[in-house]
Amino acid sequence: MKEILCIICPNGCRMTVNDSGSVSGNFCGRGAEFVKAEITRPMRTLTTTIKTVFPSTPMLSVRTVREIPKANIPDVMRFLNSLTINEKLGVGDIVVENVLGLNSNVIATSALLTS
């Protein structure tokens, strides 16, 4: 039996999954779906920062547009940590297209570099 904390909604249900895949402890159907996905292929939206060449804004906040496999987060972080942004970007601008072939772009989440 495995216990999983649901992160889909503010309820934060503590659910248990038995060996046959039966889920209990969820207050909504989305929790059961989350647990099944979490067991088979956990996915996350990655939020982080990337260095810039601009002294007034040394870091730019970014995120993935789609969830990526949780297991790939260390590889994506290593890649993003190797980058330095040298052009001004605004909210929603693509920083990295199809990061590491994971079918998700990395976009800017701050307008600090638009002025």
pLDDT score recorded for residue 20: 79
| Cα–Cα nearest to 66, from 102, 35, 27, 39 | 102
CA atoms of 79 and 51, how far apart (whole Å)? 12
Q: Which domains does the chain have, with CATH numbers?
A: 2-40 (no CATH), 47-108 (3.10.530.10)
Q: Maximum Cα–Cα distance for the chain, whole Å? A: 56
Any residues with CB less than 8 A from the CB of 50 and at least 6 apart, and which?
59, 60, 62, 80, 81, 83, 84, 85, 95
Lowest mean pLDDT among 15-19, 75-79, 106-110: 15-19
DSSP per-residue string spanning 26-85: -SSHHHHHHHHHHHH--EE--EEEEEEEETTEEEEEEEESS-EEGGGHHHHHHHHHT-EE
pLDDT score recorded for residue 115: 55
- The mean pLDDT of 33-53, rounded to a whole number, is 92
Predicted TM-score of the model (pTM)? 0.82
pLDDT score recorded for residue 73: 98
Give the residue, 107 or 37, on which the prediction is more confident. Answer: 107
pLDDT score recorded for residue 95: 96
Tokens read off for 104? 């998700």
